[in-house]
Each structure stands twice: as structure tokens, then as C-alpha cells.
Structure 1
Amino acid sequence: MKNSRGVFWGGILIVIGIVALLRKLNLFYFHWDSVLPYWPVLLILAGILLLVTQKHAPARAFVGILIGLAVFGGIAHRTDRAIDHNRDNWNFNWNDDDDQDQDDNDDQDDNDDENKDEDYEQDRSDNQDDGDNKLKNNSYQYDMQDFIQKANFNLEGGAGSFTMKGNTDKLFEADTKSSVIGFLSNTSINKLANSATVNFKMEDGNVKLNHGELSNKAQIELNDKPVWTIDLGLGAGKGDFDLSNYKVESLKVSTGVADMNIRLGDKLDNSKVDIEAGVASIDLEIPKSAGCEIVLDGALNLTSFDDLEKINDKLYRSPGYDKASKKININFEGGLSKVKIRRY
């Protein structure tokens, strides 16, 4: 079994490497869009080999290679169908019926090749105008109640550009602008616990990148009186979160592919920060008035820590951390991410 796995992974790397090298040398080239639709053939070949070879380890490994290539081909084919190549747009709603409609439209476009460039420029201009006309500007807010001492704010951002800074007399308020989908907000109150919970999320729907530009934006403000527990979920895009004016007891950040800047303050004696990142860039600003500790978990992360001493491979602390009256403790888990701590 061990040798079989070695042959499998070795074969995958050899096949991919040979194809890439030959294409780089211009010795071998074909159009992927002509090949990818036939990826199920690889599964058929794999099934035939399983029936014929029975228990031969090398052959079984080759079957694994075929299956792996079939999975890759299937994913790549579906991804390719989700791209509007003519308009540089991405549509992540992989619905076969929608794809069929797109194919029918493409067939009609092929009949008008003589005016293709002219029509493309006109369509692009029309789409830009329509996009501007369809911008949704909405406002969300919830009044502050005197009894609220603790509050939770939960953001499910999906993809877009998000900003949090400033102070409001409301418990929270947000202004959004979107040309694709809107946002949803609800707030619950617990008078017995003197607390409130604010949930703010993007609606379910198709997320599109129009010529590479994100069209979902939200500017959020919180009240600075409650002690906040903040949960920021951002799949892709950009986030600028200035939390220095808020009493942040706990901050959780979950992100996939995003560029995030987070500024913390020293309003509380202890603040806890948990960050889970995929392929992201996280820039943390920590006040020098607070002791800072960060624990790293993960590999292949790029780090840059101002004024922090290395205790071991996973632990870094600011000078005088143990005696600091105010502390910010950070747990970072990620891979292929860049994390930077800047002291101000």
C-alpha cells in the first residue's frame, strides 16, 4: 500500500510536470477548453483497469492517477464554465440550467462575428451603466438601551469591502452599497443578562466580480459603551477594522482570502484575539501601553512582529509582558498567510 501511494503521487507530479514543461518549451500545446469536457473518459479508463488488473499495485496506482486527473479535470471544467471570458466576470452560481442558457447565448454571438468587437464595447458600456443604476444603498441601525452592558457583534461578510470605525449613539449602525445582493440584520436583547446580540450578514445569492471590482461595501459603527465580543467572518476581499475606541473583550477573525487591517485599543485589562486565516494578509496594530503575546499555529506563514521577543518557535511576547497591567493575547492559526504586528 505504501509503494502504491508513492507511485500514485509520483505519477501525478510527473504527468503534470511533463505537460507543463512541454507547453513551456512550445513542444506540446492544446486548448484546455477542448479537452476538459471529456474528463469522464478518465473514470471509464480507471474502471477498465480495475477490472483487468485486479491486484497489481502499479496498475492500481495508475488507476489512482487517472481518478485524480479526472477530479482535477472536472473541477477545472466547472470553474471554466463559471467564467464569462468575454466580460472578465466571475459568476459563482454553477447551475447547469444557467450554463445552458449561456451556451445558447454564445451560439447566437458566434453568428455575429463581424460586429463582435463593436457589440462587446457597447454591451460593456451598457452593463456599467446598468450596474450604476442598480446600486443598492441601505442603512441599518438599532437604538442603544441604557441597560445594555455587554454586546455581541457577528459579521458574515462573504466577499466585499468592510470598514468598522468611529462611534455612534445607536447600539450599531451600518451603511451599505451593493450592486449584486443586499445585507440582512437582526438584533436580539436579553434584559436579564443586560446584553444584546447583533447579527449582520450578506444575503445568500450570486457573488459576481465585475471587471475585477468588488461591488459589496459596508461601513459599520458600534457604540463604545458596552463590552464587546466581536466575530468577524470574511471570505474574500478587504477589511479595515479600527476597534481602538471599543471595549473589546474577545475578537474572533475567520478569513479565507482577504487583506485585513485590525487596530486594537487598551480599553480593557485583558483582551483575547483568535484568528483563523487561509491565504490572507493580516495586519494587527497593538498599543504599546498593553502587553502583547501571540501564539502561532501553522506552517509557511510570513511574520513580522515589532517589539516582540521570540520565546520559542510558536510564542512571541512584548518586553515586560508579565508585569503589564493590560494584556492582549493573540492566537493565530493559518497557512500560507502573512501576519504582521505593528506597535503604536
Structure 2
Amino acid sequence: MKRRISLLGIFLILSGLLLLLSELRVIHFYWKDLLMLWPLIFIFWGLDLLIGEKRWGSWVTILIIFLLVFFIVFLSTYGRPFFRGRGHDFYYKEWRYPFKENVKVLNLDISTGIRSVILEGVKNKEDLIYIKSNSDFYINKIKEEEQNGELSLSLKIENKELEFGFFYMSNADQINLNISSDIFLNLNFERGVGNAVLNMKNFKLRNLSVKGGVGNLKVYLPKFSCYVEVEGGVGSIEVYIPENVILDLSTEAGIGRISVDKNIEQGKGGEKEIIHLRVRSGIGNIKILSEKKEVI
């Protein structure tokens, strides 16, 4: 009976520590994540059987709990971004930044490495940003500043494979960037190598800047007044304009050709929402299309 009580006590202590750190915003950890820790029951049970009633066994158990908490806080995907990018590279397949009720505006600078990108709204309301990839990546530049309800965040995402060869990229490499659509967004997006789809139809977008890159790009804009700048790189670009908005368009041609759908209403103002779009082509064509042309 004593051994069973001690086993339950150890598991409760560890669970309590993780939930406490989550409440303090040190790590990202939720009640549902406790289900993933069930194998620890067998670990603690085995330790209890091996250690028995030996006094030094308590110190060993405490050390193991400390090491587990250290791993979760500093090395796992639950860890807060504050602990990353401080002289060490941590590789992930998933990375998240928690939603904050006091933040009303997100100023986000993000650049991607050599892989395809899909950007859309976040599904979990507990996340402000959620990043998932089918291959390892690391974030080697994290800067965050919060002031007067605005959060400024800078992320640079790179491939693990870059260490072994700059020109390596698998067609299967894809990274999903999910950003909360519940707050106003100013986004600077620097493209890497690979195709990209920015589905921002449901975003409270204020400003969007997309620069360069190699690969095809599709951008779906919301039905809100916003300022958008698109700079072409190598590859074609398609920008989809929603219905019942006015397009204020200015263009600067490069090698590629810029075409505009005749069904899009253009002008400088009016009662409707207006999208101020500045386009500069690179090596590749740029098409400004009506949203009716394609449904995601």
C-alpha cells in the first residue's frame, strides 16, 4: 500500500509542476497533455520496486523528476520561446506560441527556409501561432516585444538539412504556419525556396508584405481594408481579391508580366472596403484575380 501511495504521489507532483509552469506561461502544457505522460507510471513504478524502502531512493526519485521537468521546459516542443535561440539550436516538428488575451495586435516578421509553405488561420484557440512540419526545422532568430496591447515577434525558420547542403530540398518538405485570426495582424513574410499558399481570407489583416523567393505563390486576401505589398521573385504569383471590395492597384513591372482580372472593381475609395495593393514583378508572371476564379 505504501508503495502504491508513493507512486501516485510522484505522478501527482510531476503533473502539478507542469501545470503550474503552464499557468505561469513558462511552458505550453494543457490538461489533455497529461494523457501523453501515462508511460511515466511504469517508470515510477519500476523505480519504486527497485529502490524499495531505501532512504537514498527518495533523492534518486527527486533527481529524476527534476530532469524530466528540465527536459520538458528547455528541450521539448512544450517549452516557451524564451528558452530558445540562446546559443543552441533546438529542432522541432511542432512549435507553438500561446494566445494572450491582452494582445490585440500582432506585428509578425517571419522568414522560411527551403520548403513549401501553407499559411492559414490557427485551429486551436489556445495558440497565437502554431507551426508544424513533416521534417525537422529550427528557429534561430526569436525576438519578442510586448507593449500597449501589441506584440512584435520575429521568427526565422530554417531547415535542419541546411547544415548538410544548401541546395537540398525534398518535394515532400512542407511547413504549416497557423496564425490566430482573432486579432489584428501586420505581417512581413520573407519567402524562401518552395511554393507558398497564404490563405488570409478570414484574417483581420492590416498590412501584408511578401518579398522575393523561388517558387510559385498564391495569396488570398480578406474582405477588409488593408495595405498589401507583393514583390516577385522567381516563379509565378497569383493574388486573389474577394468580392465586393475595391482594388487600389499600383504596379512596377520587371521581367515578368502583370495581368489584372477585368471583373475586379478598381478605384481609390468609396463606401466599400478597399485593398491597397502594390505589386512589383520579378522573374515570372503576376496575376491579380477575382476570388470567384478559384475556391480553396
TM-score, scaled relative to structure 2: 0.59
The residue aligned with 1:209 is 168
Identity rate of aligned residues, in percent? 16
Whichever residue aligns with residue 142 of structure 2, its letter is: N
Number of corresponding residues = 196
**Distance in 2 between the 1:194 and 1:237 partners?**
31
**Distance in 2 between the 1:191 and 1:300 partners?**
42
Q: CA 1:215–1:155 in structure 2 vs 1: closer, same or farther (change >3 Å)?
A: farther
The residue aligned with 2:110 is 155
- Given the alignment of the two structures, is residue 285 of structure 1 paired with residue 232 of structure 2, yes or no? no
**Distance in 1 between the 2:242 and 2:158 partners?**
32
- Given the alignment of the two structures, is residue 322 of structure 1 paired with residue 250 of structure 2, yes or no? no
Cα deviation, residue 214, structure 1 = 3.6
C-alpha RMSD of matched pairs (Å): 2.4
- Given the alignment of the two structures, is residue 199 of structure 1 paired with residue 149 of structure 2, yes or no? no
**Distance in 1 between the 2:266 and 2:157 partners?**
39
**Distance in 1 between the 2:179 and 2:156 partners?**
12
Q: Which moved more, 1:240-249 or 1:293-302?
A: 293-302
Which of 187, 190, 195 is the equivalent residue of 1:238?
A: 195
Task: Flag structure 2 segments of 5+ consecutive residues without an equivalent.
Answer: 1-90, 292-296
Does the 8 Å contact 2:139/2:155 carry over to 1?
A: no
The residue aligned with 1:253 is 210
Whichever residue aligns with residue 102 of structure 2, its letter is: F
The residue aligned with 1:99 is none
**Distance in 1 between the 2:251 and 2:150 partners?**
35
Q: CA 1:145–1:187 in structure 2 vs 1: closer, same or farther (change >3 Å)?
A: farther
Q: Which protein is bigger by CA-based radius of gyration?
A: 1
1:278-299 CA-partner distances (Å, limit 9, x unpaired): 3221111110121112211123
**Distance in 1 between the 2:139 and 2:262 partners?**
40
- Given the alignment of the two structures, is residue 262 of structure 1 paired with residue 209 of structure 2, yes or no? no
Whichever residue aligns with residue 101 of structure 2, its letter is: D
- Partner-residue secondary structure (3-state), 2:213: strand
Q: CA 1:299–1:198 in structure 2 vs 1: closer, same or farther (change >3 Å)?
A: closer
The residue aligned with 1:334 is 281
Does the 8 Å contact 1:307/1:319 carry over to 2?
A: no
Q: CA 1:191–1:319 in structure 2 vs 1: closer, same or farther (change >3 Å)?
A: closer
TM-score, scaled relative to structure 1: 0.52
**Distance in 1 between the 2:121 and 2:280 partners?**
29
Q: Which has the higher helix share?
A: 1
Which of 120, 144, 158 is the equivalent residue of 1:165?
A: 120
Cα deviation, residue 215, structure 1 = 5.2
**Distance in 2 between the 1:194 and 1:333 partners?**
30
1:194-244 CA-partner distances (Å, limit 9, x unpaired): 33424242156333436xx34542101111121101111113210011011
Does the 8 Å contact 1:140/1:185 carry over to 2?
A: no
Which of 223, 231, 254 is the equivalent residue of 1:276?
A: 231
1:118-172 CA-partner distances (Å, limit 9, x unpaired): xxxxxxxxxxxxxxxxxx7611111111110110222211321001113331111
Cα deviation, residue 189, structure 1 = 3.8
Whichever residue aligns with residue 269 of structure 2, its letter is: D
**Distance in 2 between the 1:215 and 1:137 partners?**
17
Does the 8 Å contact 1:147/1:191 carry over to 2?
A: no
The residue aligned with 1:305 is 260
The residue aligned with 1:139 is 94
